[in-house]
A and B are shown apart, each in its own frame.
Chain A
Amino acid sequence: MKRILNATWRDMVLTNFAAIVAGIVLSGALLLFLGIDPIFVFSTSIRAILTDGYTAADILLKATPLIMTALAFAFTYKANLFNIGAQGQFYMGAIAAIWLSLELQNRIPTALLLLIVLIVALAAGALIGGLIGFLKERFDSNEFLVSMMSSYVVLALMNYLLRTFLKETKGEYPQTDPIARSAWLPNLIKGTRLHYGFIISVLFAVLIWVLLYKTTLGFRIRAVGQNSRASALSGISPTKIYVIAFLISGALAGVAGFTEMNGVQHMLIQDFNPEMGAAGLGIAILANANPIGIIFASILYGALNVIGTQMGRIPGANVPSSIVSLMQGFVMLFVIMAYYARTKIASRREKNKRKREAALS
């Protein structure tokens, strides 16, 4: 048993590594077509990450909100539901965080403020999520469509607020005033932008893993997700589970709004981070909806992002920004393919074992 487990781990590391290399090589080949030396571009940008702590820390900074939106998608996915509206729940969390920070800043101690803002941002996301779950429970509405459309509703609400109640004092742009330094999430490493939000995200990922795999509630959610009828005949109410799953999912996306507001942006700007929900969805699938896997997949995504930015900045190289998205796409694609390669390898190993056993007997 232990040997099999070791082999599984080895496969996991090797295939994923091969996938990342393959993605980088393939996008490097595309750079060749553009007449750009890929080895120079990659080595320069990777050297920048290795030598510059600020850039390296940016990888984790980028991963921070993605962990949360990916968890949001993965959580409902475990109940066989699709929460496509993480973007809206994220925005809702951001609105709540910025509004409350502006109200409370310089009035109460930082720690208390951050705790209250975290809880309220979480609740704001949960409100939107819970609404989707409620509509599903009460009217059997299609959660896929409702959650997707809910994002547009929240976006409209955000735009409205940015032009009215939350508009900056100068009254020029549709954005809020910046929050005071006392309302910022403290830095994790000096001299970088990395803040405590990363720790919060990782803690949430571990918490969600524990919830899903160690508690009765998590068990019920997974059971309903995989066979709702058998669960119903076992005394579990699937519709109640739908509401709970969406509440928690929305809450997770809401927390991402908090970490982005109080940790990075420090103000709410119209249309910021519009890809947060979609990227989270991709990461969740990449990690096979495993909460711990999501941490690593988000860091990979963040790394690709930072490498891309670095590549674009190399003077004279003129790397087009679309090549960065291509590289991300290739790596994601190969990592997903590696998943199938692993099942195939494992299956062949089992088969050979049977062959040996049969030969012995």
Chain B
Amino acid sequence: MASLETPLFSLKNISKYFTRVVANNNISFDIRRGEVLALLGENGAGKSTIMKILYGLYQMDEGEILKDGNPIQIDSPKDAIKNGIAMIQQHFSLVSAHTVTENIILGSKRGRIDLRTASREVGEMADKYHFDLDPNALIRDLDVGVQQKVEILKTMFQEAQLLIMDEPTAVLTPQESENLMIFVRQFAAAGHSVIFITHKLKEVMSVADRIIVMRDGEVHGDLLCQETNESELSRLMIGRDLIAPHKPEAVKQMDDKNGLVVRHLSSKEKETVSLSDINFTIKPGEILGVAGVSGNGQEELCEVLIGARAHTTGQVILNYEDLTDLSLRERIAKGIGYVPVNRYRDAFVMSMSLAENMFLKSTYDPVWQRHGFINFSQLNRQTDASILEYNIKAPGADAVTGSLSGGNQQKMLLAREVRLAKSLLILNQPTRGLDLGAINNVHTTILKAREENKCILLISTELSEIFMLSDRIAVMYKGRIVGIYEPKELNTERIGLLMAGFDDHQDEEVAL
């Protein structure tokens, strides 16, 4: 039935070229009335670009947009709004010092504003969609989830027929996401259309009627939700089958090393979390996973271990050698690699080339220099070798690091740090913000480093990652290690409680 009627909007053969990439190549699809359309793809697949074209933020280079079968011109968001299109960006556009009502009527009222009537209208509208919202609250006092509701109401107020949402669940808790899905279904049932931009397969399956899969700026699938499944979607999205890396069970131990020993490590921080009495060991070839909600001292622990942050008491011993009083530079020389959570800030000089960033941590190492001069030919050779080995998509060693995609930057960082990590590799959320293909790649690299008998400290907020890779799991809360467990001792629920600070020793005894 749906195919017989004229679609609300049709995109026909749209292309958009950027300086470095073809962001959209010959994109065509329809948006029908009363339909929830999911736009699925990895980072950089061109999802946001095509939506920004539809919303008038970008101008297309080729192609046309039809509304009810007639060509329309969208040169600015104003044109888009006039045509009944609304978009909620990943980063909200609300005035934080204004009230909910003021934000909602912003841009749609002229002349004298009757705030009392407006606020009543907003209240009624919120009730209609079961949004629990005070029209007179200030935006800055609201949670992110509530702010999103304000954004949604704003589009309702503009009487949008099509609502575009760019990764709307990225900022929400699981419960809030569920509520959002209910709203989306309700809104579509009333005859409106919704486009949902996402890279999460589960969300797509739960809310969409139809799914457009994008990859490398092109449409690679236009499927009905009932007729597909997650594995087909993931294949279309990534372009190949994703094989989860295999983790070998037993790893051979070397006798002459005993790995990393951390004893009674404490630190005193003014602005962040202080570490208190941290104790753990990591044997060569072992991955110690550290689970915990972000901001519980994980980054501080990493930085104390690499020597970037002062500690008050305790000892760090690596392969029988006391590192406690060594500087950061000396610790690098002892074979410690570190993948920080924020590579832009802590790991790379983005405007420099890949080779230069490869060199960054080795400026005091004689390997790539002679009498103070950099040995570029050797450095480039090593960098090119790493690009090949880690399958990094880059034109060569002289490519500017910042021009690479996030996933490829992360592979480059791993290449550098694994090379430096002769004994110990510290990883802080190494897959944060990466797409599925790149995550898979990072996991494979970590497991390979494990086989090479390095000690590995893996900090992550993703429990699935912790469970998949770790040999033992430590849980961190407020600068302390609450406990270290075998993976089989823990399940998601129990680790969740530990991460939230509930000490379960007594429960455990009772339960046993």
Using a CB–CB cutoff of 8 Å, the interface residues on chain A facing chain B are: 214-217, 219-220, 222-223, 226-227, 229-236, 347, 350-351, 354-355, 357-358
Contacts and interface: CB of A to CB of B under 8 A. Distances in A.
Given A233-B328, A354-B17, 4 more contacts: A223-B356, A223-B360, A232-B328, A354-B21
A266 B349 CA distance: 46
Interface of B: 15, 17-22, 25, 61, 306, 308, 327-329, 332, 338, 340, 345-352, 356, 359-361, 363-364, 369, 372-374, 376
B351 to A, nearest CB: 6
Contact of A350 (B19, B25, B306, B347): B19
Given A223-B352, A355-B61, A229 B345 contact: yes
A358 B17 contact: yes
A223 B349 contact: yes
A209 to B, nearest CB: 13
A227 B22 CA distance: 30
B494 to A, nearest CB: 35
A234 B361 contact: yes
A39 to B, nearest CB: 42
20 contacts: A216-B369, A219-B356, A219-B359, A219-B374, A220-B363, A222-B349, A223-B352, A226-B349, A226-B351, A226-B352, A227-B348, A230-B349, A231-B349, A232-B328, A233-B306, A233-B340, A235-B327, A350-B20, A354-B17, A358-B15
Main secondary structure of the interface of A (DSSP, over half): helix
A109 to B, nearest CB: 32
B18 A234 contact: no
A216 B352 CA distance: 14
A183 B350 CA distance: 49
B217 to A, nearest CB: 9
Q: Which of A229, A235, A354 is the most central at the interface, judged by chain B CB atoms within 10 Å of its CB? A: A235
Contacts of A355: 17, 22, 61
> What are the 9 A-B residue pairs with the smallest beta carbon separation, nearest first?
A235-B329, A234-B361, A227-B349, A347-B19, A350-B19, A226-B349, A234-B360, A358-B22, A354-B17
Contacts of A222: 349, 352
Given A234-B360, A351-B18, A358-B25, A229 B372 contact: no
A235 B359 contact: no
A125 to B, nearest CB: 23
B510 to A, nearest CB: 46
Nearest to B62: A355
Q: Which of B18, B359, B373 is the most central at the interface, judged by chain A CB atoms within 10 Å of its CB? A: B373
B330 to A, nearest CB: 8
A321 B263 CA distance: 75
Q: Which of A214, A227, A233, A234 is the most central at the interface, judged by chain B CB atoms within 10 Å of its CB? A: A234
Given A347-B19, A358-B17, A229 B360 contact: no
Q: Which of A219, A233, A347 is the most central at the interface, judged by chain B CB atoms within 10 Å of its CB? A: A233
A214 B327 CA distance: 27
Contacts of B360: 223, 230-231, 234
Contacts of B359: 219
B372 A217 contact: yes
Q: Which of A230, A232, A357, A358 is the most central at the interface, judged by chain B CB atoms within 10 Å of its CB? A: A230
A354 B364 contact: no
Contacts of B350: 226-227
A274 B61 CA distance: 54
A233 B338 CA distance: 9
A215 B374 contact: yes
Contacts of A217: 372
A236 B363 contact: yes
Contacts of A351: 17-19
A231 B329 CA distance: 11
A350 B395 CA distance: 15
Contacts of A219: 356, 359, 363, 374
Contacts of A350: 19-20
Contacts of B356: 219, 223
A216 B372 contact: yes
Contacts of B18: 351, 354
B338 to A, nearest CB: 7
B203 to A, nearest CB: 31
A232 B373 contact: no
Given A216-B369, A223-B360, A230 B22 contact: no
Contacts of A236: 363
Contacts of B373: 214-216
A347 B22 CA distance: 13
B363 A232 contact: no
B62 to A, nearest CB: 9
Nearest to A361: B25
Contacts of B345: 227, 229-230
A219 B374 CA distance: 9
Nearest to B333: A235
B374 A234 contact: no
A272 to B, nearest CB: 38
Contacts of B364: 235
A346 B390 CA distance: 31
Nearest to B328: A235
B315 to A, nearest CB: 22
